[in-house]
Amino acid sequence: MGGIYQLGDDFSTMLKRQIERKSQSFVVSGTTRVPVNPGQPSAMMMLADDNDAQYIINGQITDLTSTLDQKLLKSDQINRQFAATLEIMDGKTGGKYWYRTIIVKSPNGPSREPARLILKVPASGNLATDRQYSELVAT
């Protein structure tokens, strides 16, 4: 479990990079470590205004576990789990557009492949009223 000291920052950087690379409709104006509280819409509008942002993406890593299943006659199996909550808020009204809990579990058996995380947001939702897009992908 070594080398995960800045996991939250690394996850933010990875998400920013994927949005910049994959999106045709979004530009990331910046990242910040300011606490985000969807229950305070005026603070969300001020945060968006300060960062010249139309939307705010907020996330929290809620689970990062690794367990070992010891097998008597087989190779031991390492089980990993990553869970996070993500939400998208409107920077103009402070309202919540989208909320999702994402859980990524390692496949059965040892694997050298990183888990792939795909977030799909329907273009027919409230978020599409300002800009058209089809999906947000983070790997």
Reported as a single tens digit per residue, the pLDDT across 62-104 is 888 888 888 777 888 778 888 889 899 999 999 988 999 988 8
Domain ranges of the chain: 7-138
Q: For residue 105, report the phi and psi dihedrals to the nearest 5 degrees.
A: -110, 145
- CB–CB of 1/66 below 8 Å? yes
For the residues of 57-79, what is the DSSP string, one character each?
A: EEEEEEEEEEEEE--SSS--EEE
Superfamily of domain 7-138: ABC-type transport auxiliary lipoprotein component (3.40.50.10610)
pLDDT category at 109 given cuts 50, 70, 90 is very low
pLDDT of 132 over the 50 cut = no
- pLDDT, residue 89, reads 93
What one-letter code names the amino acid at 118? I
**What is the pLDDT averaged over residues 28-38?**
86
How many residues can be counted in the chain? 139
- pLDDT, residue 26, reads 86
Reported as a single tens digit per residue, the pLDDT across 5-16 is 677 788 888 888
Taking the alpha carbons at both ends of the chain, their separation in whole angstroms is 20
pLDDT of 107 over the 70 cut = no
pLDDT of 110 over the 50 cut = no
